[in-house]
Chain A
Amino acid sequence: MSDKMHLKLTVNGEAVETLAEPRELLIHVLRERLGITGPHIGCETSHCGACTVDMDGKSVKACTVFAAQAQGAEITTIEGIGTPDSLHVLQEMFREHHGLQCGFCTPGMITRAWRLLQENPSPTEEEVRFGMAGNLCRCTGYQNIVKAVLAAAHELNSVKEAAE
């Protein structure tokens, strides 16, 4: 055990602080110290993507980031992507297209897709499949996830066009 560090983060738009050991993984800090249990743990080895969060504008696997590396970071998790009264289009499309079953991969999937659509607002099916390949799902076979992400892209683009 090592001494705890004073960790300051911005999580879903709110400044938060906590004590954590430097070796602690970001996913554990979020889930256990901050009570943010949306991101899940499926492997702790960077393979499954269940722990995906957005850190300083990039998708990261929070099981592979030390607390110390996250000092000062701006983090968005599934909890910060939409609210019950105003869901994000991705959240709606995942439901609409049956893009989830057990729901365990879903927070990571949506958080990754949220970043993907900012990186590439009009992806092809291939680009979605490639861009989401770091997130495993054991239930859906991906077909409906891909459909949901493409539908969300379409929806977001139409809203943008209408606004312009």
Chain B
Amino acid sequence: MKDLPDSAERRANLKGLGCARKRVEDARFTQGKGNYVDDIKLPGMLFGDFVRSPYAHARVKSIDASAALALPGVVAVLTAKDLEPLGLHWMPTLAGDKQMVLADGKVLFQGQEVAFVVATDRYIAADAVELVEVDYEDLPVVVDPFKAQEPDAPVLREDLAGVTEGAHGPRRHHNHIFTWEQGDAEGATAAIDGSEVIAEETIYYHRTHPCPLETCGCVASMDKVNGKLTVWGTFQAPHVVRTVASLLSGIDEHNIRVVSPDIGGGFGNKVGVYPGYVCSIVATIVTGKPVKWVEDRMENLMATAFARDYWMKGRIGATRDGRITGLHAHVTADHGAFDACADPTKFPAGFFHICTGSYDIPVAYCAVDGVYTNKAPGGVAYRCSFRVTEAAYFIERMIEILAIRLGMDAAELRRINFIRKDQFPYISALGWEYDSGDYHTAWDKALKAVDYEGLRREQAERVEAFRRGETRKLLGIGLTHFTEIVGAGPVKNCDILGMGMFDSCEIRIHPTGSAIARLGTISQGQGHATTFAQILASETGIPADKITIEEGDTDTAPYGLGTYGSRSTPVAGAATAMAGRKIRAKAQMIAAYLLEVHDDDLEWDVDRFAVKGAPERFKTMAEIAYAAYNQAIPGLEPGLEAVSYYDPPNMTYPFGAYICVMEIDVDTGEWQVRQFYALDDCGTRINPMIIEGQVHGGLTEALAIAMGQEIAYDDMGNVRTGTLMDFFLPTAWETPNYQTDWTETPSPHHPIGAKGVGESPNVGGVPAFSNAVHDAFRAFGLTQTHMPHDHWRIWRTARDLGLHG
């Protein structure tokens, strides 16, 4: 219907889609009234703490807990022997493998959980950990995934002796997990071999860690009177945790309540199920008292949820004028000691096959070999959708390298090969159906915004000045055009431990026209309580300020698969819109009854149904809600509630164009980001303020990853970056200001056209920063140097290129 004179004002009052609404969460957080897991204190609560292995590979010959048990305040020391009768000394991983909960005869990585001490306070627990005597016999260590595949490499997983068929097909070596292939191997090889120009390179995306500011933890409490287990924890997927807890413990699912309270950042770290959770649950069942376990930072970095660690060997072919002819990728994926990657079940390498990126590549092939090493398990999507960051980094490096081989400008090479707007929906060579995009428009806007040609001129002058000895600083221009794939996902091919990856929303409209909605997701800082209310406001006409959003309590929220892989907006956001539409459909019938007209004679206007052609005759949603509860309406049930379980027909494909301008000091290796321009297209924009905040945060994580953050091991398997002293988290001092921009290409299959944005800046940011470093040295012959680009590595690059004179 056409807007009425006051429609715009009423629309603004809703604070619906597109409004930079201030966050409702902030009141409690700014006053120190958040409720995080470590804030939970229950009467009689005990504390758990782990004895961890100092060795990366060793046999555990004996464990003597007698001195620990003699310490006043120590209640129990659990070892694998105690868990074995319950069948809990090992647990299944999300990737179809299994993982030791507590060391069963041997340890396979430094920091592995060996025994669980339970005591009356955390200091006593920590003292007791020191008193547990473990006798180890060290074994040969392998931390290099290539050496791990040599014929005489140490056997890591003795439990898999003779197992030649893994969860994802045949295993061809005792440390091999799977080979996973997509695309046309022969076709791609033939196309590349026949190309006029070929670029080949190995790109390493190093091991790193999501490191949210709050570590992982839980409080488990068994109420023996009612037979009910409650677990509060840092869970990005509380419903799945409940199902897994039920399957593992044998406790009926209705007797388990899992609650994710406020979560201090997740970024993928809090998707997995960790031994700490299992041990806490066992301990509360054994002791009958609540048990808290919260890991410290060192444990967090050493033992839970690493990310990346992909060795990506690429070949790309092109015609002399820059048309890409084919792409071939082979990845050696270091999964650590257990395959605990958090990917949808059928995708052992996640969505790595989005590695054709934003480009129209006629034929492609990728294969991934997963390998065991003596490193921590994990392989989570660190602010990314299942290996999409690796894929984006791979293709955006390969494009740069191809540009070097072609002697072509990398911006132009991208433009030539972009999927055109009129090709969408576009089926990629590796089988994805890209929903929508307009890459050329975004790219041109980005280049113009930074005066790309001016920058290139400045760079050329800088190189000349450097050669003349007038400066020791180089200028790098880092380009990236990324395409993401998020919002897993269609239930037909995406599940986690058999649970289809739908999501859900349940709405109740109260009689006086306010509402509560509950979702299957859980915010870890994304502001769901703010944005999901905005979606509902636009759908139902109830002001966002009158809608409470709740998540994270499995006793009250509908089942959902949780928040990671940028799936909240694409999946739960869609469920929210659909549930809102169900409300509106019933509201229309009620309004028709009240106005004594036929349903079809009504039309929706912002917050009301009005009679067509007679807008002065209307019923607002608030009036309708009241009627739903206070009068009998023939043929309709009382009340105004709806629930929607949404199974998305496809994923969404956000994209963006990022440009980083970086100054690099050749003599010290120091870098400074002079400018960073980030254009994101996440489809319909729900809350621009929150989008911008997500972009700033994701870019800063990308800055960290590209420029210094890593989980590094020495040859003995010792973690060299186990504290925040060594593990790089940028401070306000080295973090630049970012310039954000946007285009808006709605997703055609999402009810409100939204695509999700939280992870785009991490996916696109890493190649932008890294390409800037590479680009600074392009004139001096650099094609590839591995991340992280810390000062020392940059200095070494400059030295190797002979730039130190």
With A102-B264, A140-B697 in contact, is A50–B22 under 8 Å at CB?
Answer: no
Name the distance in Å between B262's Cβ and chain A's nearest Cβ.
7
Question: Are A144 and B696 in contact, CB atoms less than 8 angstroms apart?
Answer: yes
Question: B296 in the interface, Cβ–Cβ < 8 Å?
Answer: yes
Question: Are B699 and A91 in contact, CB atoms less than 8 angstroms apart?
Answer: no
Question: Are B697 and A101 in contact, CB atoms less than 8 angstroms apart?
Answer: yes
Kindly report which residue of chain B lies nearest to residue A143, judged by CB atoms.
Answer: B696
What are 28 A-B residue pairs whose CB atoms fall within 8 Å in the complex? Answer: A21-B123, A32-B41, A37-B38, A40-B38, A44-B296, A45-B724, A47-B723, A48-B213, A48-B724, A79-B31, A95-B22, A98-B692, A101-B697, A102-B212, A103-B29, A104-B212, A104-B525, A110-B30, A129-B732, A129-B735, A132-B732, A136-B731, A137-B732, A138-B213, A138-B265, A138-B697, A140-B696, A141-B697
Name the distance in Å between A95's Cβ and chain B's nearest Cβ.
4
Question: Are B39 and A102 in contact, CB atoms less than 8 angstroms apart?
Answer: no
Question: B85 in the interface, Cβ–Cβ < 8 Å?
Answer: no
Question: Are A102 and B31 in contact, CB atoms less than 8 angstroms apart?
Answer: no
Please give 7 more A-B residue pairs, beta carbons under 8 A apart, in addition to A98-B690, A135-B732, A145-B732: A38-B31, A103-B30, A128-B732, A133-B731, A135-B731, A143-B735, A143-B738
Cα A67 to Cα B23 in complex, Å, equals: 36
**Chain A residues closer than 8 Å to B735, beta-carbon distance:** 129, 141-143
Question: Are A136 and B213 in contact, CB atoms less than 8 angstroms apart?
Answer: yes
**Chain A residues closer than 8 Å to B296, beta-carbon distance:** 43-44
Within 126-160 of A, Cβ neighbours of B (below 8 Å) are at 128-130, 132-146
Question: B524 in the interface, Cβ–Cβ < 8 Å?
Answer: yes
Kindly report which residue of chain B lies nearest to residue A35, judged by CB atoms.
Answer: B41
With A40-B214, A48-B213, A130-B733 in contact, is A104–B697 under 8 Å at CB?
Answer: no
Cα A45 to Cα B300 in complex, Å, equals: 13
Question: Are B701 and A138 in contact, CB atoms less than 8 angstroms apart?
Answer: yes
Name the distance in Å between A139's Cβ and chain B's nearest Cβ.
5
Question: B571 in the interface, Cβ–Cβ < 8 Å?
Answer: no
Question: Are A137 and B213 in contact, CB atoms less than 8 angstroms apart?
Answer: yes
Which of A42, A77, A141 contacts B32 (CB under 8 A)?
A77
Question: Are B213 and A104 in contact, CB atoms less than 8 angstroms apart?
Answer: yes
**Residue from A48, A107, A134, A139 whose CB has the most chain B CB atoms within 10 Å:** A139
Question: A106 in the interface, Cβ–Cβ < 8 Å?
Answer: yes
Cα A132 to Cα B731 in complex, Å, equals: 8
With A37-B32, A40-B264, A103-B264 in contact, is A45–B26 under 8 Å at CB?
Answer: no
Question: Are B213 and A82 in contact, CB atoms less than 8 angstroms apart?
Answer: no
Question: Are B738 and A102 in contact, CB atoms less than 8 angstroms apart?
Answer: no
Question: B599 in the interface, Cβ–Cβ < 8 Å?
Answer: no
Within 7-49 of A, Cβ neighbours of B (below 8 Å) are at 21, 23-24, 28, 31-32, 35-45, 47-48
Question: A75 in the interface, Cβ–Cβ < 8 Å?
Answer: no
Question: Are A139 and B265 in contact, CB atoms less than 8 angstroms apart?
Answer: yes
Mark interface residues in B272-313 (1 if CB within 8 Å of A CB, else 0).
000000000000000000000010110000000000000000
Kindly report which residue of chain B lies nearest to residue A105, judged by CB atoms.
Answer: B213
Kindly report which residue of chain A lies nearest to residue B263, judged by CB atoms.
Answer: A102
Name the distance in Å between A143's Cβ and chain B's nearest Cβ.
5
Cα A78 to Cα B31 in complex, Å, equals: 6
Name the distance in Å between B522's Cβ and chain A's nearest Cβ.
12
Within 21-64 of B, Cβ neighbours of A (below 8 Å) are at 22-23, 25-34, 36, 38-39, 41
Question: B185 in the interface, Cβ–Cβ < 8 Å?
Answer: no
Question: Are A104 and B22 in contact, CB atoms less than 8 angstroms apart?
Answer: no
Name the distance in Å between A66's Cβ and chain B's nearest Cβ.
12
**Chain B residues closer than 8 Å to A139, beta-carbon distance:** 213, 265, 525, 693, 697
Name the distance in Å between A140's Cβ and chain B's nearest Cβ.
5
Kindly report which residue of chain B lies nearest to residue A148, judged by CB atoms.
Answer: B30
**Chain B residues closer than 8 Å to A105, beta-carbon distance:** 213
Name the distance in Å between B696's Cβ and chain A's nearest Cβ.
3
Question: Are B30 and A87 in contact, CB atoms less than 8 angstroms apart?
Answer: yes
Question: Are A84 and B31 in contact, CB atoms less than 8 angstroms apart?
Answer: yes
Which of B22, B31, B215, B724 contacts A47 (CB under 8 A)?
B724
Which of A45, A98, A107, A135 contacts B23 (CB under 8 A)?
A98
With A138-B265, A138-B267 in contact, is A95–B26 under 8 Å at CB?
Answer: yes
**Chain A residues closer than 8 Å to B697, beta-carbon distance:** 101, 138-141
**Chain A residues closer than 8 Å to B26, beta-carbon distance:** 94-95, 100, 103
| Nearest 6 interchain pairs by C-beta | A38-B32, A103-B29, A104-B264, A102-B525, A141-B696, A101-B525
Within 45-102 of A, Cβ neighbours of B (below 8 Å) are at 45, 47-48, 50, 77-79, 82, 84, 87, 91, 94-96, 98, 100-102
**Chain B residues closer than 8 Å to A32, beta-carbon distance:** 41, 121
Question: B181 in the interface, Cβ–Cβ < 8 Å?
Answer: no
Question: Are A40 and B724 in contact, CB atoms less than 8 angstroms apart?
Answer: no
Question: A1 in the interface, Cβ–Cβ < 8 Å?
Answer: yes
With A91-B31, A110-B30 in contact, is A43–B525 under 8 Å at CB?
Answer: no
With A1-B123, A141-B738 in contact, is A38–B263 under 8 Å at CB?
Answer: no
Question: B392 in the interface, Cβ–Cβ < 8 Å?
Answer: no
Cα A136 to Cα B727 in complex, Å, equals: 13
| Interface residue tally for chain B (C-beta within 8 Å) | 61
**Chain B residues closer than 8 Å to A38, beta-carbon distance:** 31-33
Which of A21, A50, A128, A130 contacts B213 (CB under 8 A)?
A50
Cα A50 to Cα B38 in complex, Å, equals: 13
Name the distance in Å between B763's Cβ and chain A's nearest Cβ.
15
Kindly report which residue of chain A lies nearest to residue B39, judged by CB atoms.
Answer: A37
Cα A134 to Cα B328 in complex, Å, equals: 45
Cα A43 to Cα B27 in complex, Å, equals: 25
**Chain B residues closer than 8 Å to A104, beta-carbon distance:** 34, 36, 212-214, 264-265, 525
With A79-B31, A98-B690, A102-B263 in contact, is A40–B36 under 8 Å at CB?
Answer: yes
Name the distance in Å between A91's Cβ and chain B's nearest Cβ.
4
Cα A139 to Cα B29 in complex, Å, equals: 14
Name the distance in Å between A54's Cβ and chain B's nearest Cβ.
13
Question: Are A44 and B23 in contact, CB atoms less than 8 angstroms apart?
Answer: no
Cα A28 to Cα B262 in complex, Å, equals: 20
**Chain B residues closer than 8 Å to A137, beta-carbon distance:** 213, 732
**Chain A residues closer than 8 Å to B265, beta-carbon distance:** 101-102, 104, 138-139
Cα A53 to Cα B513 in complex, Å, equals: 43
Cα A38 to Cα B296 in complex, Å, equals: 18
Question: B729 in the interface, Cβ–Cβ < 8 Å?
Answer: yes
Question: Are A143 and B723 in contact, CB atoms less than 8 angstroms apart?
Answer: no
Question: B401 in the interface, Cβ–Cβ < 8 Å?
Answer: no
With A98-B689, A101-B527 in contact, is A47–B732 under 8 Å at CB?
Answer: no
Which of B23, B31, B692 contacts A82 (CB under 8 A)?
B31
**Residue from B25, B215, B525, B731 whose CB has the most chain A CB atoms within 10 Å:** B731
Cα A23 to Cα B262 in complex, Å, equals: 30
Question: B737 in the interface, Cβ–Cβ < 8 Å?
Answer: yes
Name the distance in Å between B144's Cβ and chain A's nearest Cβ.
30
Name the distance in Å between A142's Cβ and chain B's nearest Cβ.
4
Within 530-563 of B, Cβ neighbours of A (below 8 Å) are at none
Name the distance in Å between B147's Cβ and chain A's nearest Cβ.
33
Name the distance in Å between A41's Cβ and chain B's nearest Cβ.
7
Cα A7 to Cα B288 in complex, Å, equals: 32
Kindly report which residue of chain A lies nearest to residue B698, judged by CB atoms.
Answer: A141
Name the distance in Å between A2's Cβ and chain B's nearest Cβ.
10
Name the distance in Å between B664's Cβ and chain A's nearest Cβ.
21
Cα A44 to Cα B23 in complex, Å, equals: 30
Question: Are A95 and B32 in contact, CB atoms less than 8 angstroms apart?
Answer: no
Cα A128 to Cα B732 in complex, Å, equals: 8
Which of B28, B123, B693, B725 contacts A140 (CB under 8 A)?
B693
Within 240-259 of B, Cβ neighbours of A (below 8 Å) are at none
Cα A101 to Cα B294 in complex, Å, equals: 21
Question: B634 in the interface, Cβ–Cβ < 8 Å?
Answer: no
Kindly report which residue of chain B lies nearest to residue A104, judged by CB atoms.
Answer: B264
**Chain A residues closer than 8 Å to B29, beta-carbon distance:** 100, 103, 106-107
Name the distance in Å between A136's Cβ and chain B's nearest Cβ.
5
Kindly report which residue of chain A lies nearest to residue B693, judged by CB atoms.
Answer: A98
Question: B526 in the interface, Cβ–Cβ < 8 Å?
Answer: yes
Cα A10 to Cα B690 in complex, Å, equals: 38
Mark interface residues in B106-149 (1 if CB within 8 Å of A CB, else 0).
00000000000000011110010000000000000000000000
